[in-house]
Amino acid sequence: MTILQTENLSKHFGKVKALKSVSMDVREGEVFGFIGPNGSGKSTTIRILLGMLSPTGGEATVFGMDAKNQAVDIHKRIAYVPGEVNLWPNLTGGEVIDLLMSFHGVKNEGRKKELIRDFQFDPSKKCRAYSKGNRQKVALIAALAIEPDLYIFDEPTSGLDPLMERTFQKYVKDARAEGKSVLLSSHILSEVEQLCDRVGIIRDGEIIETGSLTDLRHLTRTNLYVETSHTLENLEQWEGVHAVEQEEAGWSFQVDTEKMDTVMAELSTFGIRKIESAPPTLEDLFMRHYEGSGGGEE
Amino acid sequence: MFHNSGKLLFFLGKADRLRITVWLFSLTVITIAVPLAFGNLYPTQAERDVMAQTLSNPALTAMVGPVNFETYTIGTMTAHEMVLLTALVVGLMNILFVNRHTRVEEEEGLLELVRSLPTGKGANMMAVFLHILFINLLLVLLISVGLGVLGIESMGWNGSMLYGMVLGGSGIFFAGITAISAQLADNARTSFGIAFAVLMIAYLVRAVGDVSAETLSWFSPLHLSSQAEVYGANHWWTILPLFGVGILLFAVAGYMASLRDLDAGLLRSRAGKTTASSFLGTPTGLALRLQRTGIISWGIAMLLLGASYGSILGDLETFFEGNEILQQMLAGESSASFTEQFLSLLIVVIALIATIPALMSMLKLYKEEKSHRVDLLYAHPLSRFQFFASHLSIAAVQGLVMFLLAFAGLWMAGVAVMTEPFSFLTIVGAGMAYYPALLVMVGVTVLLIGFFPEKSGWVWAYLLYAFIVLYFGGLFEFPEWMEYLSPFGYVPELPNEDMTWLPLILLSMVALVMVTIGFRGYKRRDLQG
């Protein structure tokens, strides 16, 4: 079942076209990674989904309801953590967490205490004294304590240290295990790889690729390093082989996933002494899409 | 220890050049303008004597200090009404400057950067001290020379020099206080709070002392600025304790700074609440909590404003009879007494000032949006109407409360000084007639927030326009239609004029329409961020 959907969403700020055409959907019980560099339109899309902005064109629905007109009903079932958390300087972190929870009518003291402990957060300080990471913890703790049906995270870990990032990932995995849905926007690829079932890649206000990580890997190449007993020749002219580089004792290169079979068969005739392969990382995938918009790779 | 203080000093001066210019320029211009204005308003000794009579009441003594001179010349008049209040402002200026270069910069990490350079541990404090000394001496120079060159008979060079030095001394004193508070607190806000509290207590202590028990006043450094008797006895010794203690405080602050770590304070900041009261969990509760300090301060200020105006109602008849310019300000063809006409003018002025806090509360709706804090709120099941309505109702109720406080203050002081005081209903009724006009101003603010949020600050220009037209309208003989461009112009000027309900009803309806349309705009438009 689709939880969240956008169709040909566009948004113009004066002459600036922040979003050109964004179509994506988040299904029930999945973690959807929304990736793209800064300024590509991630936050604008999210702000439309939250009803804070009206789209110039297209449609945005959450739980089958219009994102802008039925915002209050939608928001009863979601929690949101913005990338840049701004808090009231003269309230304490604990006060803000309670305040945000009470807008949902949620008490959930036990879970709140657990979250405060797991995120090693000191709720007694005034918000003006918190670092960026600690302000983010305030929003994260409140969101996770609300336990909604859908979480929307906009680069939630950009201020957290690696240890806290892991705590965050644990909670996201738990949420998915309970059948909750998550929209996770990020430019930290390892995080997306760790958590997401499907990803959508956005660039310059357009979704350029959507699918599961396995789907997308079809479009990518595997990194290989081989050492052979017979000398390899004219490797760069083989079909499906790219980025050939000679190393001290062997060769490293990339192979198109769909040509893997023929390349391996050919390689084995040279007597393989050592072979190392690395799966394509999201980084490779990402880079291919961003290698200059005019590049012939796509 | 003070290595490279000189270079730091240079940077401080460079960073502050605009701020220093604005502060010193404004202070000097106002200081010079006042005796010139007094010269025009009260050219004869007889007029000034009447003025002295009118001003020698407890409310004014509490505000500007005791009457401690024999003749009310232009000089003593300026000194009496200006020195203490200016010293208060100079104190505030010094607190802001010193806090900026100590705690604020420490908080922003600038001091850390400076410390990592080859600078002495005490270099920053030394640089701040020299910097602040320079600012205050420049102020002394500008004020003293500015007043001196006016060449007004009762304002000799001796007095003018003392005038400047008293201000500079008060400045150094409070700069020293701030240098200390910056070592005590571990954040800029608390540090400012402590220094500002000392300034306010100093002002209040001498207010109480001047009115009732003079010994009490001696506990306040600000009392010295009254005690200097500028243009009268010219007590030069008064500046010694001001400069002396100020410099001493800096030395102590330097020592305290060497005792503590960077980013730490000698006072441990106490832990705040870890949970919120249930009151805070509503949009109105949150908005009220955020504006709490502001609302309380405004409330007190309104009561005092009303009372201080009310305290001059006593001798008004004699006062006005001798002064043509003031009569002109009332522009009265009316048969009412001067006091009644003047009361009408006071009431509109108070109403205009009491409108400010209500507009600030309304503008808070946009301020919260601009600082991105509503992003977090609107992601919760909170409709724009709820958040909007909570701000609107706070603004409207606050306006009512501010009006009541100001006019109750006016009435109470009137009762104290008049032989035949106005009734409570006359004054409060006359004041409340302006309430629909306040609602229209709130309506204008809502319209701006709804459709031109970036321009919502323009409502202040509109309020200022209303103030100028209504306050100086009679004096400058503005055409009548200019009054009708502001909602305040439609309100019957009680008790001077007769009560008419129609304009008040119409104003209320206009306010309602504006709020409705403005809200539609607010609901539809994109949130900024």
Q: Residue B475: what pLDDT?
A: 66
What mean pLDDT value characterizes chain A?
87
Q: Do A145 and A256 lie in a common domain?
A: no
In angstroms, how far is CA B320 from the centroid of its own chain? 28
Q: Do A134 and A230 lie in a common domain?
A: no
Q: Residue A57: what pLDDT?
A: 93
Q: Which amino acid is at A88?
A: W
Q: Which residue has the tokens 């100001």?
A: B406
What is the distance between the terminal CA atoms of chain A, rounded to a whole angstrom? 31
Helix ranges, B101-238 (H)? 105-107, 110-116, 123-148, 157-184, 188-211, 214-217, 223-227
pLDDT above 50 for A126: yes
From chain B, the residues in CB contact with A102 under 8 A are: 276, 278, 280-282
Question: By the 8 A CB rule, do A189 and A35 touch?
Answer: yes
Inside any domain, residue A82: yes
User: Which of A50, A53, A68, A98 is the mutation pick for testing B, counting most B CBs within 10 A?
Assistant: A98
Number of domains within chain A: 2
Q: What gap in Å lies between CA B494 and CA B485, rounded to an integer?
A: 20
Q: Do A73 and A204 lie in a common domain?
A: yes
Inside any domain, residue A185: yes
Q: What gap in Å lies between CA B43 and CA B326, rounded to an integer?
A: 13
Q: Do A200 and A268 lie in a common domain?
A: no
pLDDT band of residue A59 (cuts 50, 70, 90) is very high
Nearest to B380 among A85, A95, A100 (CB): A100
Q: Which two tokens stand for residue B450?
A: 């709804």
Q: Do A100 and A143 lie in a common domain?
A: yes
User: Which of B263, B380, B384 is the mutation pick for testing A, counting most A CBs within 10 A?
Assistant: B380
pLDDT above 60 for A296: no
User: Which of A73, A95, A117 is the mutation pick for testing B, counting most B CBs within 10 A?
Assistant: A95
Q: Do B273 and A75 touch (CB under 8 A)?
A: no
Inside any domain, residue A14: yes
| Maximum Cα interatomic distance, chain A, rounded to a whole number of Å | 73
Q: Residue A233: what pLDDT?
A: 78
Q: Do A72 and B383 touch (CB under 8 A)?
A: yes
pLDDT above 90 for A222: no
Distance from CA of A289 to the nearest CA of B (A): 29
Angle between helices B45-55 and B74-99 (to 10 degrees): 50
* Domain closes at, from A216, A246, A267: A216
Q: Do A10 and A58 lie in a common domain?
A: yes
Q: Do A163 and A185 lie in a common domain?
A: yes
Other CB atoms within a 10 A radius of the CB of residue A98 amount to: 26
Q: Do A230 and A87 lie in a common domain?
A: no
Share of chain B above pLDDT 70, in %: 95
Q: Which two tokens stand for residue B431?
A: 């004041």
Distance from CA of A51 to the nearest CA of B (A): 8
Inside any domain, residue A289: no
pLDDT above 80 for A298: no
Residues spanned by the domain of A194: 2-216
Strand partners, A61: A5, A66
Q: Is the ipTM of this complex over 0.90?
A: no
Closest-CA residue in chain A for B187? A129
Q: Do A258 and A183 lie in a common domain?
A: no
Closest-CA residue in chain B for A127? B272
Inside any domain, residue A284: no
Q: Do A53 and B271 touch (CB under 8 A)?
A: no
Q: Do A171 and A270 lie in a common domain?
A: no
Q: Do A80 and B379 touch (CB under 8 A)?
A: yes
* Domain closes at, from A167, A191, A216: A216
CATH of the domain at A43: 3.40.50.300
In B, what residues contact A, Cβ < 8 A? 187, 189, 269, 271-276, 278, 280-282, 286, 289-290, 371-373, 375-383, 524-527, 529
User: Of A153-157, B9-13, B388-392, B446-450, which range is least confident?
Assistant: B9-13
A144: Cβ contacts below 8 Å, ≥ 6 apart: A79, A111, A115, A151, A171, A175
Using only C-alpha atoms, what is the Rg of chain A?
Answer: 23
Closest-CA residue in chain A for B370? A86
Inside any domain, residue A200: yes
Q: Are strands A251-256 and A57-62 parallel, antiparallel or unpaired?
A: unpaired
Q: Do A62 and A184 lie in a common domain?
A: yes
Q: Which amino acid is at B183?
A: Q
Averaged pLDDT for residues B290-309: 89
pLDDT band of residue A290 (cuts 50, 70, 90) is low
Distance from CA of B379 to the nearest CA of A (A): 6
Q: What gap in Å lies between CA B234 and CA B160, rounded to an integer?
A: 10
Q: What is the dihedral of CA B510, B515, B518, B522, to 10 degrees?
A: 180
CATH of the domain at A258: 3.30.70
B53: Cβ contacts below 8 Å, ≥ 6 apart: B315, B318, B319
* Domain closes at, from A195, A216, A237: A216
Read off the pTM. 0.77
Q: Which two tokens stand for residue A269?
A: 């005739």
Nearest to B378 among A52, A89, A98 (CB): A52
Question: By the 8 A CB rule, do A286 and A278 touch?
Answer: no
Inside any domain, residue A263: yes
Query: CA dist B233 to B7, B75, B141, B224, Å?
Result: 42, 12, 21, 13
Q: Do A103 and B381 touch (CB under 8 A)?
A: yes
pLDDT digits (tens, 9 = 90+) for B313-357: 876 776 677 666 667 666 555 566 778 888 888 899 899 999 999
Q: What gap in Å lies between CA B288 and CA A288, rounded to an integer?
A: 53
Q: What gap in Å lies between CA B10 and CA B3, rounded to an integer?
A: 14
Q: Do A265 and A129 lie in a common domain?
A: no
pLDDT above 50 for B68: yes
Inside any domain, residue A293: no
